[in-house]
């Protein structure tokens, strides 16, 4: 039951962070602001992919499932309530993806809350881009940022492997009823959406590797700029990406 243990631990971390934020309404609002800015940033960085073409669907999947500002409380609750059922109902490789997703969410929530605290300290009339860059540099934790990206890339690679598993798509379809009955509808949706999205890329030669390399290159460059670039230049570029400058 190693997968269940890891999932429960990750979800417990997220719940603890959420409770801390709930006890401080200002912090809760700040974390929501940070997540909203990050979702807008992703949409701006990948506007070319999201606008159409072979990578529009996978870019949208990443935006909605990994970089979104939406509330994942329902999915967390499902994970925590029946973590053991994931190992029993889904194949081992699917359970592994669920573990990685839960652990990514825990790390992301931890970093977002740290950003929220720093964001509150920048409430002095600065623009969102200025506040975000200042908060990012105050929080630091570069190894964690790089690890976060590595985990995101790992999830993408896992989804590619899943699409190459014979019979898995049919198995996922057959799992809809049992998954729903077990309270795993949100996880089921994530798996099916991810499977179908990446399956469409896998049918194109080098489609999935090219997409994942694009994400990795752009996100790695962004991390480097946010830590190392001239502050004003970084703020200006971020404001432009957010659509706040022409």
**Per-residue pLDDT tens over the stretch 66-121:** 777 776 666 666 666 656 666 666 677 777 777 888 888 889 989 999 999 999 98
Q: Which two tokens stand for residue 136?
A: 């990012």
Phi and psi at 123, nearest 5°, equal -80, 70
- Of 165, 217, 226, 221, nearest in space to 191 by CA: 165
Q: Which two tokens stand for residue 23?
A: 């006890």
Half-sphere exposure of 7 (CA within 13 A, CB side): 25
- Of 185, 207, 186, nearest in space to 197 by CA: 207
- Of 36, 13, 59, 61, nearest in space to 193 by CA: 61
**Residue 78: per-residue pLDDT:** 63
pTM of the full predicted structure? 0.84
- Of 185, 184, 194, nearest in space to 60 by CA: 194
Q: Which two tokens stand for residue 103?
A: 């652990």
Q: Which two tokens stand for residue 42?
A: 């992703």
Q: Coil, strand or helix: which one is 219? A: helix
Q: Are 169 and 199 in contact (CB under 8 A)?
A: yes
Half-sphere exposure of 66 (CA within 13 A, CB side): 24
**Residue 102: per-residue pLDDT:** 81
Phi and psi at 46, nearest 5°, equal -115, 30
Please give the average per-residue pLDDT across 50-76, as a whole number: 80
DSSP 123: T
- Residues 196-235 have pLDDT tens digits of 887 877 777 778 889 999 999 999 999 999 999 999 999 9
Three-state SS for 41-78 is HHHHHCHHHHCCCCCHHHHHHHHHHCCCCCCCHHHHHH
**Residue 184: per-residue pLDDT:** 66
53 phi-psi bin (left φ>0, alpha ψ -120 to 50, beta other): left
Per-residue CA distances from 95 to 14, 28, 35, 81 (Å):
19, 31, 27, 15
């Amino acid at each position: 039951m190693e997968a269940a243990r890891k999932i429960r631990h990750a979800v417990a971390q997220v719940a603890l962070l959420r409770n801390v934020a709930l006890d401080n309404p200002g912090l809760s609002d700040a974390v929501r602001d940070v997540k909203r800015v990050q979702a807008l940033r992703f949409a701006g960085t990948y506007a070319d992919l999201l606008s159409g073409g072979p990578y529009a669907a996978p870019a949208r999947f990443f935006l909605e499932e990994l970089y979104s500002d939406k509330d994942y409380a329902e999915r967390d609750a499902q994970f925590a309530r029946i973590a053991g059922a994931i190992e029993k109902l889904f194949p081992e490789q699917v359970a592994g993806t669920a573990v990685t997703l839960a652990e990514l969410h825990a790390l992301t929530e931890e970093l977002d809350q740290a950003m929220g605290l720093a964001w509150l300290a920048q409430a002095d009339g600065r623009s969102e881009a200025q506040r975000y860059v200042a908060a990012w540099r105050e929080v630091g934790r570069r190894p964690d940022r790089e690890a976060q990206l590595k985990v995101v890339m790992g999830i993408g690679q896992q989804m590619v492997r899943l699409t190459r598993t014979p019979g898995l798509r049919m198995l996922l379809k057959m799992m809809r009823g049992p998954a729903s009955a077990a309270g795993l509808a949100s996880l089921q949706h994530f798996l099916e959406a991810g499977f179908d999205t990446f399956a469409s890329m896998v049918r194109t030669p080098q489609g999935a590797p090219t997409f994942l390399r694009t994400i990795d290159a752009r996100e790695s460059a962004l991390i480097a700029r946010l830590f190392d670039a001239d502050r004003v230049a970084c703020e200006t570029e971020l404001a432009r990406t957010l659509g706040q400058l022409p």
